[in-house]
Structure 1
Amino acid sequence: MKVVAINGSPRKEGNTELLLEAVLKPLAESGWETELIRIGGKKIRGCCGCHKCWNKKDKHCIFGGADIFNDCFSQAVAADAIVLGSPVYFTDVTAEMKAFIDRAGFVALGNDCALSGKIGASVVALRRGGATHAFDTMNHLFFMSQMIVPGSIYWNMGYGLKPGDVGADEEAFRNMQHLGEAINWLGKTIEAGKASYPVVKEGELPPDPKA
């Protein structure tokens, strides 16, 4: 099984990256293939709502050749679990992470709900405030994309200002350890069940529960 962690922080080896690595560690120990991708500080434009991805249906953004989006989204589609991580910038995620969320959600919806049934989790690094808002922003992608979101022992956040400061937040790292273990359990449970996820495509109504 494969998990992809997408880091919206422009700081290499910063607090967000430390938290994401802590989530990936128990998964790697359990045999998962892990990949950490940093989009923060790299070229990735926002969505312009042109609907070309809905018309072409190739799981690509028409503007993806100009930035890193298509490569990143392709790895997300190929994964069983996706972990998004961002520091808090003015009470929300970074601009790069928001651009990825908008485009990934739109491309996925226009391509038969390409992310449905996958596991999704969010991780936030912050100095003081805004964590739950940034946390919600990333989770919106998962809920809109018919993904499965595991819980943990607290909100998935860690506190620290300078790179490495989050390492002193022991509770955060216990949380990240548990989150990785929860993703592992959920992924292997889904794999063992082999049941297909009930995907509802764009424009369709959900199935009648009384039928």
Structure 2
Amino acid sequence: MKVLLINGSPNEDRCTYTALAEAARSLEAEGVETEIAWIGRDPLRGCIGCGGCSKLGNNRCIFDDDVVNRLLEKAERADGYLVGTPVFYAGANGALLAVLDRMLYAGGALMQFKPAAGIASARRAGTTPAIDQINKYFQINKMPVVSSTYWPMVHGQSAEQVLQDEEGLQTMRMLGKNMAWMLRCIEADREAGGDHPQMEAKIATNFIRPTA
């Protein structure tokens, strides 16, 4: 079993990384392999809704000049996901949202039914809307959202300060433990011959009448 942890901060090894690393250590202690992948600082385009990924049919974005397809390659090999963000204006980092827009639009099929959770790092406030913003990507893609003993957030203006947030770090550890437990449950069900729920044919309505 493997969990991909995505660091959605423009800073590679500061507060968001510190939170993800604490969760990763907890997962590793439970026997789950982890990988922390950083979105980097290079320019990222947002999804333009061109539908080119559907035409390609390979679960990759048509634009191949940034980190998105590299992350999709990692996501395909993972069994679960933790996605971390710093808080910008009471929400997630815009670059991370661009990544998630394109990952889920182009490669959502690779991630369906795999457990995931968003986490947030902030000096003070805005964490819960940022977490909710990330979790919405999972909820629309049939992915179980993993919980912890509190909303998965840490506080601090530096990695050193985050390490002083004992409750936040405990929340990260319990998030890792809960993720490992859920992965084991899914694996046990699969070994017993079970499978994820079979989806009905999608019904798409436009407020009042079905869409064409």
Distance in 1 of aligned mates of 2:135 and 2:95: 16
**Structure-to-structure mapping, 1:104-143, within 5 angstroms:** 104-109=103-108, 113-143=109-139
Unaligned runs of 5+ in 2: 205-212
Unaligned runs of 5+ in 1: 207-211
1:42, distance to aligned residue in structure 2 (A): 3.1
**Structure-to-structure mapping, 1:66-85, within 5 angstroms:** 66-85=65-84
1:38-83 deviation per Cα after TM superposition (whole angstroms, max 9, x unaligned): 10423332101000111221011010x2111101012112210010
1:200, distance to aligned residue in structure 2 (A): 2.9
1:93, distance to aligned residue in structure 2 (A): 0.9
Note if 1:30 corresponds to 2:30. Answer: yes
1:12-34 deviation per Cα after TM superposition (whole angstroms, max 9, x unaligned): 22010000011111211222221
Distance in 1 of aligned mates of 2:93 and 2:176: 23
Note if 1:204 corresponds to 2:202. Answer: yes
Distance in 2 of aligned mates of 1:81 and 1:49: 26
SS at match of 2:91: coil
Runs of 4+, deviation exceeding 6 Å: none
Distance in 1 of aligned mates of 2:27 and 2:179: 8
* Cα distance change on mapping 1:165 and 1:9 into 2, 3 Å: same
Distance in 1 of aligned mates of 2:65 and 2:178: 36
User: Which of 177, 180, 193 lines up with 1:181 in the alignment?
Assistant: 177
Letter in 1 for 2:20: L
* Cα distance change on mapping 1:140 and 1:185 into 2, 3 Å: same
CA contact (8 A) 1:28 1:34 kept: yes
Distance in 2 of aligned mates of 1:152 and 1:163: 21
CA contact (8 A) 1:108 1:145 kept: no
Partner of 2:18: 18
CA contact (8 A) 1:16 1:125 kept: yes
CA contact (8 A) 2:15 2:159 kept: yes
Farther off after superposition, 35-44 or 168-177: 35-44
| RMSD of aligned Cα (Å) | 1.6
1:164, distance to aligned residue in structure 2 (A): 2.4
TM-score, length-scaled by structure 1: 0.90
Distance in 1 of aligned mates of 2:40 and 2:189: 36
CA contact (8 A) 1:116 1:199 kept: no
Distance in 1 of aligned mates of 2:69 and 2:199: 24
